[in-house]
Amino acid sequence: MRRRLVPAALLLPLALLLTACGGTSSASTDTDGTGPVTLDVGDQKGGSEAILRAAGELDNLHYKIKWSTFTSGPPLLEAVNARAVDIGGVGNTPPVFAAGAGSKITVVAAWHGTSKGDTILVPNGSKLTGTRQLKGRSVAVAQGSSAHYQLVASLEAAGLSLSDVEVKYLQPADALAAFTSGKVDAWAVWDPYTSQVLQAGRGRVLTTGDGVTNGLTFQVASPAALEDPGKAAAVKDYLARLRRATDWVYGHQEEWAKVWAKDTGLPYEVALASVRRTNSTRVAVAVDEPLVASEQRIADAFAELRLIPHKVDFGRFVDRRYNGGLPPSTTPAKD
């Protein structure tokens, strides 16, 4: 049987789907007098580098940044574990899987946003109207992604478990193709994929992660980088810049959407919808006990499902040195 082609308007730009290496941002290379320092930063297309550049936070650096771009959190954390990357940004679930695999990773910074962009989508013609109706249905999701836990938590909230649905572990490009061609009944995914499907009129939201997932995103560092005084100082400065840039997005949503659309190839309308629904809601928060407890619940859920090999003590994978005067992790997301 011939595979149906996915409409071109629904295909995310290649830049969002392929792993690639980025370039370097630099000014002076002396960090706090410790000598030349290069911070290797893992990123996702249209992510930290684009936000920092748009907000003017890559000016007057006292160290170099070498950027490497990844399709999602799990391969980025593999690079952190391999010491190919010093620090990088991911969602709330990849660190749990990395910790479960015994990876050398350390959560050093966090942001709290809404989970409204984390959705379970169904085609417009679907007869499904509630999460409980997913029983016996096929659902696409990227294994180890934030959407993976959102699916688990949403099913649990509806009185179901992961075993009650037919899970199809697919990366976003393949999941999008399966969803638009009717090969799966639903798709658990995150923004900007949510906004892309909705803006194209090819699906609707069955449920969101709002109220069932913690809405956290992280910067995760290599322990080896944190043990290096020069790199640890660079990480401190980098996180301060990233926090300011994230705050800048809230007051410049249309401007950021234009930059993001240009950087990724997304249609402006899709980028703006994603910014308004998800990106502009994030607040920098402390890596604290409630955060560890929230992530521990995710780890325990996946251990019980035997999707990670053993119980994880998530508190062993955090470093609170960069908290400063940040508010608690339970601080509400921005409206």
> pLDDT tens across 75-96, in order?
999 999 999 999 999 999 999 9
Same fold, 14-113+215-317 and 115-208: yes
Task: Give pLDDT, residue 279.
Answer: 83
In the chain, the percentage of residues whose pLDDT exceeds 90 is 76
CB 51 within 8 A of CB 249: yes
> Above 90 in pLDDT, residue 158?
yes
- Please state, rounded to an integer, the average pLDDT across all residues of the chain: 89
> What local confidence, expressed as pLDDT, does residue 24 receive?
53
- Could you tell me the pLDDT band of residue 22, with boundaries at 50, 70 and 90? very low
> Domain spans of the chain?
14-113+215-317, 115-208
3-state class (DSSP) for residue 14: helix
Task: Give percent above pLDDT 70 in the chain.
Answer: 90
Cβ-Cβ contacts under 8 Å for 40 (sequence gap 6 or more): 66, 68, 84, 85, 86, 87
Confidence of residue 260 (pLDDT cuts 50, 70, 90): confident
Work out the pLDDT band at 29, boundaries 50, 70, 90.
Answer: very low
CA distance 266 to 9: 10
CA distance readout (Å), 29 to 21, 33, 65, 226, 234: 21, 10, 10, 18, 10
Tokens (6 digits) for 62: 């006292």
Asked whether residue 18 carries a pLDDT value surpassing 60, the answer given is: no
CATH code given to domain 115-208: 3.40.190.10
Instruction: Summarize the confidence of residues 62-80 as an average pLDDT.
Output: 93
Which amino acid is residue 20, in one-letter code?
A
> How many C-beta neighbours within 10 Å does residue 210 have?
15
Burial of 172 (0-12, 13-18, 19+ CB in 10 A): buried
Q: Is the CATH number 3.40.190.10 carried by domain 14-113+215-317?
A: yes
pTM tops 0.75, yes or no = yes
Task: Compute φ and ψ for 98, nearest 5 degrees.
Answer: -65, -40
Report yes or no: 107 and 299 within 8 Å, Cβ to Cβ.
no
